[in-house]
A and B are shown apart, each in its own frame.
Chain A
């Protein structure tokens, strides 16, 4: 694709990955991955352990060097300064570090870092923006609580709040529900979906729960051994054949209201 100047042209995809190769310690992790995520879309990457899902997300988030392979809203990612990229992409890691003694307010305020001058301090507007996000995520009563004392579901909302405080339009979620019970999994995904629709956010996520993944994603990408083996709607990707081939799983796929439901069945 043609590189475009900073702001990004209207209509440029939120994420455009072309021929991404990533090796860690000379072991190839991703080999020639292509991926396009339209603005406002929710794309979920699935795949067996070690397929390279997290690595793909890290590359898109700018945590791994991937010169020339990735564009964000029409701008080559490598041309973005780290601080500017942080205003465009926000990442929620799989298990973010919870610093001892840090309050919810201070944690969410970290999200304002790309707006705070280097070596400077936050402005009243930054604090107001944080309270705004806390309000939206029903975390107002929590702001003085120590992050480490919250339950898993509450923490996940706080991690999300920190990402939203970044004011980025692209949200990268690495296993956003892995630490949660089934009720909180739904709660968090509904919340992300609601925010996406209200604020036009783009979501690129990785997930292990295939049924849940299919219910929320517009499109899915199946990654296996560092390459994309299937892309399409949940109905197209969540098939018994593909899952048997790439997960070596014995599953039954049944149609559901919001997407196919994947049920593991005993082999024998």
Chain B
């Protein structure tokens, strides 16, 4: 006989009474989901209300609801104020939400795929790869040479994707992510080296094409300021694809946490999933970078905060990182454009100011994992 399996196919529910609610597996609890959605709405209304001309949040909320077909509320805003809301501020805030959500999601995804708490689109060199590719398109292709880049040419996200895939492949090969013996710190060091290499390439390109310095520079520091609906539409399909692929694999990322051998003996194909997820996260990063330039540290601040507050399962981390990442970046943008008004602080500067100290904090808590 071949023996009776201890638990064959789904066991009949023989357990007396119901298992206490606390014995549910890790999953997204409703209150966290509600908190995340609330944070996004708060960031949306704050982002649209605040600026050189501050508008009453209530009226802004009414005006936003008016965008839903069939809703007609009296907001008390003038024609000009309505135009500020729908044509100037809303696309900027929506793009900020999208990019923040993408960067945080990509960060959380990289952390799972590489089993590395420090993995982040920036530290892995992915953003630098996208940055170099976009610089090349602008400098060599002459895009935007006549002043600031208005609207995003179709070629930019694609070039950014190619650049980010190239960078992450280099980092992966140099740092050996899958290998058991190699340390997570190796991967990050490899990412730093790749970043430095790609940034040098970017500097060289800019030196040779000095007429591109201005448009590239304004894009590098984050172009949320000039965002229009065109940019939102261009990023949206990439964002959707990344989100679907990554969120569908959130349980697999939990299995990958126990190692490739275990994942294999549990019936998964870890390497296949890893490649797919790296591609998806890199696509998301590329979309974010090509829309708004280099905004660092979102991918490390947000997933870590979520992990600390709501739980270590990727089923929790990934969806919540998207929501809180979106809210985080939109609110950071509010700070960037109000703190030194009427001047704007580049948003990448604000996130780096917050992210630097945070990174040190993560480094201290992750020391055990890294050594």
Interface positions of A (Cβ within 8 A of B): 8, 10, 12, 14, 39-40, 58, 61-63, 73, 81-87, 89-91, 93, 96-97, 99-103, 105-107, 109-111, 113-116, 119-133, 136, 143-144, 164-169, 195, 199-202
Tell me whether B257 is interfacial, beta carbon within 8 Å.
yes
A99 and B262 form a contact (CB under 8 A): no
| A214–B81 CA distance with the chains assembled, in angstroms | 85
Contacts of A125 in B (CB 8 A): 10-13
B194-252 CB contacts (< 8 Å) to partner A? 248-249, 251-252
Give Cα A122 to B23, complex, Å. 14
B22: chain A residues at CB < 8 Å are: 144
B258 touches A82 (CB 8 A): no
CA distance A194 to B27 in the complex (A): 34
Chain B contacts to A: CB under 8 angstroms: 1-15, 19, 22-27, 248-249, 251-252, 254-255, 257-259, 261-262, 264-269, 307, 311-313, 369
Q: Which of A10, A63, A133 contacts B1 (CB 8 A)?
A: A10
Q: How far is the CA of A98 from the CA of B47 in the complex (A)?
A: 42
| Chain A residues whose C-beta falls within 8 Å of the C-beta of B5 in the assembled complex | 167-169, 199
Q: B271: shortest Cβ distance to chain A, in Å?
A: 12
- Shortest Cβ-Cβ A-B pairs, 8 listed: A101-B312, A200-B3, A125-B10, A86-B267, A83-B267, A99-B257, A114-B267, A113-B266
A195 touches B6 (CB 8 A): yes
Residues A10 and B2 in contact in the complex (CB < 8 Å), given A96-B258, A116-B251: yes
Residues from chain B with a CB closer than 8 A to the CB of A58 are: 261
A6 to B114, CA, bound (A): 36
Asked if residues A114 and B262 are in contact (CB atoms below 8 Å), the reply is no
Contacting pair A167 B2 (CB below 8 A): no
Contact of A200 among B1, B9, B266 (CB under 8 A): B1
Complex interface: chain B residues within 8 A of A40 (CB): 1, 3
The one of B11, B255, B258, B259 that contacts A128, using a Cβ cutoff of 8 Å: B11
Chain B proximity of A235: nearest CB distance (Å): 26
**A166 to chain B: which residues have CB within 8 Å?**
266
User: Are the CB atoms of A200 and B13 closer together than 8 Å?
Assistant: no
Residues of A within 8 A of B11 (CB): 125, 128-129, 132
Contacts of A89 in B (CB 8 A): 265
Residues in chain A near residue B15, CB distance under 8 A: 128, 131-132
Tell me if B258 and A106 are in contact (CB < 8 A).
no
Residues of B within 8 A of A164 (CB): 6-7
Q: Which of B2, B8, B266, B269 contacts A111 (CB 8 A)?
A: B266
Report yes or no: A82 in contact with B262, Cβ–Cβ below 8 A. no
Say whether A91 contacts B313, CB under 8 Å: no
Q: Is the CB of B266 within 8 A of A199?
A: no
Distance in Å from the Cβ of B264 to the closest Cβ of chain A? 6
Cβ A115 vs Cβ B23 within 8 A: no
